[in-house]
Amino acid sequence: MDKTIAPADVTATYLLGLADDALIYTQRLGEWMSRAPQIEEDMALGNIALDLLGQARALLTRVGELDGTGRDEDALAYLRDEREFRNVHLVERPRGDFGDEMARLLWFSSYQFELYSQLTSSTDEVLAGVAAKAIKEVTYHRDHATQWVLRLGDGTPESHARMQAALDRVAPYVDELFTDTATDEAATTSGVGVLPSQLRSAATAYVRSVVDEATLAMPAEPRRRARGGRDGIHSQAMGYLLAEMQHIHRSHPDATTW
Amino acid sequence: MYGNDFRDPDEQLNAAEGGALDQLLPTATRRGEGGDFERLVSTDGRVEPRDEMPDAYRQTLIRQIAQHAHSEIIGMQPEGNWISRAPSLRRKAILLAKVQDEAGHGLYLYSAAETLGVDRSELLDKLHNGQQKYSSIFNYPTLTWADVGAIGWLVDGAAIMNQVPLCRCSYGPYARAMIRVCKEESFHQRQGFELLWTLSRGTERQRAMLQDAANRWWWPALMMFGPPDTGEAAKGGHTEQSMAWGIKRFSNDDLRQKFVDMTVPQADKLGVTLPDPDLRWNAERGHYDFGPIDWDEFWRVLKGDGPCNEERIAHRVSAHEEGAWVREAASAYADKLASRSTGAVA
């Protein structure tokens, strides 16, 4: 990244990554509504999706203020193309079975827990405020995923095998959460952000403790690692996700309000 | 929050607003003090789970509460269909929260049914194998974004008209569950109206979308009150017995008329035409007259020949079957925890 980049742009780019993670994961979690294993879980996943959507909206609004384009949350969510989205691959991964979702949620919430714990002291006041609210939400998300990984891991032989397989399938997407980009480095220098690499050991230790208690095994080092999301290089699934999310909004370019 | 151009927020939009529900609270929340069933029912008392009750009363309630719970759960599908495509993030949040509320209503209602000695899994099996019904309105598809608003405005509006009197139902747990359900439904109805109001002030295509949705949902909404049950039609149906037991308080026809009377002026405010050439104010009756309802369509859809009957049940059954391993794991884990703690005590 160009070292002369203006601080506001660094902050905006940094926040866009956090916002897009939350927004795209909301989109995937929303797919569970009416499809969860029990009604209580429809409610819980809906609740988590709503929390993440709230984070995304606050952060996108802030991005629009900082980047000088004056775009509102909807312009940022609905009118950017795929290469402009900065989310990690983990959140765009198509919905799998319930084990896959709990493996994804365990990793993502453990990452967000460490992230927002530190961002409460961000020099960007809006981000610090979002973090202060988000940490309460994410604590619940992480607990929810934890309880399910324990039940599934230490439940029946079938659920044990399926939960293990889900952890293994998610493993290639973990590294990207904790990989620093030039924007992360610039945002950390300015006091706005935190280096993802510094979150890795605490988040991994938490996941490991849950996996151990659930009588499961941490997956071996994956052969393949997802990368590039923060630079707008996504998986093929992303285009379809955006096509669905954006098409009504984009089909009515002259509509000013919904 | 509504825009500045939203109409008077104090104006009553549905049967739960304007203090209607609040007036019911003192009686609706009162716990029954027990005693003879006939005396309780005839004195507007509350029957509670511990009380003796005729088996037919119990079975009627189980059937009605289960059908209501199933409707909430199946009703998540037509609206859930639009969560991924909601055209603004604010609307996405509102819709997610609404569908989540419906899951919550399903849970309260299954719990109310369980106080009558059945369990949720048994009721879900009956939904899945077709032994128990859900509201036939959900066999219609949601084809455009405006349908999300029309469901809030018309379908929730009609449901509230039916449900507010249930807050006075003779069976205590059902009456109490209905208070919260009605409050949330009332909020949903207002949100639906506000969605449509926004479309009505939008582009020509947004207004066309609104009109199309009103055209498709108006008649099915009127059918939600059920077949005629006054005059000749009152004989032999469920209505007479349910009224005697204090489960039902008004006839289908009375509730339908109240709904029409409340909704027609709202359609005017939205600038939509309702698809009924016979719809007009009758000063003599003090009510709107409306045209004949196509009961053949009602019975056809009820019996399975609607656009989405098979799809709704197939979706529900597949979610249930795909989640079986998860529910089994949760039970097995709970058993392990229980035996570990027993072992620790021993």
| Structure confidence at residue B346 (pLDDT) | 57
| Structure confidence at residue B224 (pLDDT) | 97
**Residue contact B198–A248, C-beta within 8 A:** no
Nearest 5°: the CA angle A243, A244, A250 is 65
Nearest 5°: the CA angle A3, A202, A185 is 0
Residue B9 pLDDT level (bands cut at 50, 70, 90): low
Contact residues on chain B for A158, CB-CB shorter than 8 A = 325, 328-329
For residue A75, what is the nearest residue in chain B, using CA coordinates? Answer: B88
**Residue contact B316–A34, C-beta within 8 A:** yes
| B198/chain A closest Cα distance in angstroms | 6
Given the structure tokens 């032994």, which residue do they identify? B131
User: Which residue from B280, B259, B316 is spatially nearest to B128, judged by alpha carbons?
Assistant: B316
Asked if residues A26 and A92 have their Cβ atoms less than 8 Å apart, the reply is: no
Residue B6 pLDDT level (bands cut at 50, 70, 90): low
User: Given a cut of 50, is residue A147 above it in pLDDT?
Assistant: yes
Residue A1 pLDDT level (bands cut at 50, 70, 90): very low
In sequence order, what are the beta bridge partners of B47? B171
In sequence order, what are the beta bridge partners of B282? B287
In sequence order, what are the beta bridge partners of B171? B47
- Give the residue-averaged pLDDT of A193-222: 98
Asked if residues B217 and B151 have their Cβ atoms less than 8 Å apart, the reply is: yes
Tokens of B247: 């489960």
Which amino acid makes up residue B11?
E
What single DSSP character describes residue B280? E
Residue B291 pLDDT level (bands cut at 50, 70, 90): very high
Q: Can you say how many angstroms the Cα of residue B151 is from the centroid of all Cα atoms in its chain?
A: 11
For residue A250, what is the nearest residue in chain B, using CA coordinates? Answer: B87
User: Given a cut of 70, is residue B186 above it in pLDDT?
Assistant: yes
CA distance A94 to B248: 47
Q: Is B139 helix (H, G, I), strand (E, B) or coil?
A: helix
**Residue contact A53–B93, C-beta within 8 A:** yes
Which amino acid makes up residue B287?
H
- φ/ψ region of B39 (left if φ > 0, alpha if ψ in -120 to 50, else beta) reads alpha
CA distance B299 to B257: 20
User: Given a cut of 90, is residue B341 above it in pLDDT?
Assistant: no
Q: What are phi and psi of B281, to 5 degrees?
A: -70, 135
Asked if residues B312 and B139 have their Cβ atoms less than 8 Å apart, the reply is: yes
Contact residues on chain A for B91, CB-CB shorter than 8 A = 258
Contact residues on chain A for B333, CB-CB shorter than 8 A = 150-151, 154-155
- CA count, 13 A, side-chain hemisphere, B1: 3
| A-B C-beta contacts closer than 8 Å | 147
Restricting to A residues 70-129, those with a Cβ less than 8 Å away from any Cβ of B are 73-74, 77-78, 97-98
Average model confidence (pLDDT) across chain B: 93
- Is A156's Cβ below 8 Å from some Cβ in B? yes
Tokens of B323: 């989640």
Question: Smallest Cβ distance to A156: which of B99, B316, B328?
Answer: B328
| B247/chain A closest Cα distance in angstroms | 27
Q: Can you say how many angstroms the Cα of residue B1 is from the centroid of all Cα atoms in its chain?
A: 25
| Structure confidence at residue B1 (pLDDT) | 41
- B240: exposed, middle or buried (C-beta count within 10 Å: 0-12, 13-18, 19+)? middle
- Give the residue-averaged pLDDT of B116-120: 97
**Residue contact A33–B99, C-beta within 8 A:** yes
User: Given a cut of 50, is residue B4 above it in pLDDT?
Assistant: no
| B339/chain A closest Cα distance in angstroms | 13
| B254/chain A closest Cα distance in angstroms | 34
Question: Smallest Cβ distance to A152: which of B77, B93, B329?
Answer: B329
- Give the residue-averaged pLDDT of B92-116: 97
Asked if residues B104 and B165 have their Cβ atoms less than 8 Å apart, the reply is: no
- A229: exposed, middle or buried (C-beta count within 10 Å: 0-12, 13-18, 19+)? buried
User: Given a cut of 60, is residue B5 above it in pLDDT?
Assistant: no
User: Given a cut of 60, is residue A141 above it in pLDDT?
Assistant: yes
Which residues lie closer than 8 Å to B31 by C-beta, 6 or more apart?
A: B46, B48, B172
CA distance B7 to B265: 13
**Residue contact A43–B100, C-beta within 8 A:** yes
User: Which residue from A74, A34, A20 is spatially nearest to B77, judged by alpha carbons?
Assistant: A34
Contact residues on chain A for B324, CB-CB shorter than 8 A = 37
CA distance A92 to A20: 10
Q: Quick count: other Cβ atoms within 10 Å of Cβ A126?
A: 17
Express as a percent the part of chain A with pLDDT over 90: 97
For residue B145, what is the nearest residue in chain A, using CA coordinates? Answer: A248
Nearest 5°: the CA angle A230, A234, A238 is 120
Please write down the HEC assignment for all residues of chain A: CCCCCCHHHHHHHHHHHHHHHHHHHHHHHHCCCCCCCCHHHHHHHHHHHHHHHHHHHHHHHHHHHHCCCCCCHHHHHHCCCHHHCCCCHHHHCCCCCHHHHHHHHHHHHHHHHHHHHHHCCCCCHHHHHHHHHHHHHHHHHHHHHHHHHHHHHCCCHHHHHHHHHHHHHHHHHCHHHHCCCHHHHHHHHCCCCCCHHHHHHHHHHHHHHHHHHCCCCCCCCCCCCCCCHHHCCCCHHHHHHHHHHHHHHHHCCCCCCC
**Residue contact A255–B203, C-beta within 8 A:** yes
Select the residue from B5, B72, B88, B89 to test the A interface by mutation, using most A Cβ atoms within 10 A: B89
Contact residues on chain B for A255, CB-CB shorter than 8 A = 87, 202-203, 205-206
| Structure confidence at residue B10 (pLDDT) | 73
**Residue contact B85–A247, C-beta within 8 A:** yes
User: Given a cut of 50, is residue B32 above it in pLDDT?
Assistant: yes
User: Which residue from B174, B173, B156 is spatially nearest to B75, judged by alpha carbons?
Assistant: B156
| B199/chain A closest Cα distance in angstroms | 7
- B317: exposed, middle or buried (C-beta count within 10 Å: 0-12, 13-18, 19+)? middle
User: pLDDT by residue (tens digit) across A5-53?
Assistant: 557 799 999 999 999 999 999 999 999 999 999 999 999 999 999 999 9
Residue B240 pLDDT level (bands cut at 50, 70, 90): confident
